[in-house]
Structure 1
């Protein structure tokens, strides 16, 4: 078997079909199939189950894919470190995160990083969940992932950077807008705008509300906090969200962010394969973001 065989197999497992993997790899479906067949002959086991809508790994396929993903990620990471060493400060940093992270947590750090390392590039990849970020790290497609920190069974290091209190986003015309603070009991039977059920912040919020005996109804689902807050500002519902500074102040006269001090704070920060193995450019960017998040916390 070759490294190309293993890379193609991992791409098939990730894409869920031979044709989708072929598109991702810019090759023919026949070529993808040949790589998989060669692996199956080599190990003497079937690695994929064919279904009408694509393929899924067999038990043996899952075992191989987990090892391949981890191994290729380590190889790619090592090759990139060698490339960075050869090009000094002219390399790149690949960051995977949610759609609104740059606006709220990284804008100032991006400016400082570009000023300090003008020859370096930043590559941002959007994921909709922490699981997707972990997959990108494990596969070597990202150096850093900015996530909502929470329990995980993945071999990933998590480093907290900023704690964000929760708030209730409501339209200024809503009766709750007059409150100085919101208690969990105020959310009983409330119809809320929420993030997808598998997101870390939604899972943590649901668990904390359940501990208080509160079971609100999430009847509107959005993919990011900014959309939830915007819909609340427009009077289309209520949203329990992190109190993001960009939404505070005179720029949003029709919005109220009312503190919910009874809820534990949400912690956001970096996830990496190994912090001590980060190459210098990635570490510099991670530290720049942490520095500016610290300044932001002081201002608030």
Structure 2
């Protein structure tokens, strides 16, 4: 068997389809099938179960997928780290996150990073939920994931960066618009705009409200907080959202963000496979984002040969 056989097999397990794996890998479905068959022939075991809608790994397949994902991810990260050190700041940093994260948390950091590392490139991969970010990390296709922190996935390390208090977004014409704050009890039976049910933030919000005996109705679903706030500003509903500075101020006269102090703050931050396996460039970008978010909790590794910018630089 070859490393390519193993990479193709994990892609099939991740996508649940031979054809989807072929699209991701830019090869033919027949080639994907041959890689899997070679693994099964050498191991003498069935690794996939074929169904009308795709494939699922067998028990043996799941064992192999877990081991290969862990092993190849470590190899990929180490090779990228060595390449970055050898090229002294030339390389790329691959980040997966939600659609509006760069706008709210990384805009200034991206400018700062590019000024200090002009030969480095940044690649952003958009996901709609933390699960997709975890899958990208596990597959080794990204270095860093910016997520809403929740229970850690297997073989993923998380670091909190910023806490986001909750607000109720309503239009200026809403009956609650004149309130200085609202309580969870004010949300009983409220019809809310929310993220999809599989998102970490939506699950956490629903759980916190349920602890207070509050069960709002999420009758409108959107893929990101910005869309939820925009719909609320247009008077198309209410939305319980993290307090995002970009929406505050005179630029949005028809919007009101009313604090909900009774809810625990949402925590956002980084997820990585292993901090000590990050390339110097990826670590420098993570630290730059943290610094611009007002914290400095990540470890620094000047011995890696690529010292990050000093905290006073902007």
Q: Please, what TM-score do these two structures have when normalized by structure 2?
A: 0.92
Please state how far the C-alpha of 1:146 moved relative to its aligned partner: 0.6
Q: Distance in 1 between matches of 2:209 and 2:141?
A: 35
Deviation string, structure 1 residues 30-60 (Cα, Å, up to 9, x no partner): 1111111110111111111111121111111
Identify which range, 50-59 or 255-264, moves more after superposition: 50-59
Shift of 1:83: 1.3
- Retained in 1: the 8 A contact 2:194–2:218? yes
Give the aligned partner of residue 288 of structure 2.
288
Secondary structure of 1:175 counterpart: coil
Compute the displacement of 1:153 (Å).
4.0
CA distance in 2, matches of 1:91, 1:19: 31
CA distance in 1, matches of 2:205, 2:180: 21
Measured after TM superposition, the shift of residue 182 of structure 1 is: 0.5
DSSP-derived class of the 1:219 partner:
strand
Q: Is the 8 A contact 2:76 2:140 kept in 1?
A: yes
Report the counterpart of residue 82 of structure 2 in structure 1: 82
CA distance in 2, matches of 1:153, 1:25: 25
Q: Give 1:1-300 correspondences, 5 Å limit.
A: 1-294=1-294
SS at match of 1:263: coil
- The alignment's C-alpha RMSD in Å is 1.1
Q: 2:82·2:279 contact (CA, 8 Å) conserved in 1?
A: no
More helix, by proportion: 1
| Structure 1 residue ranges without an equivalent (≥5) | 296-300
Deviations 1:69-89 (A, max 9, x none): 111111111111121122111
Give the distance between the partners of 1:150 and 1:28, measured in 2 at CA: 37
CA distance in 2, matches of 1:209, 1:51: 40
Q: TM-score, normalised by structure 1?
A: 0.96
Q: CA deviation at 1:107?
A: 0.2
Structure 2 unaligned blocks of 5 or more: 296-314
Shift, 1:276, TM fit:
2.3
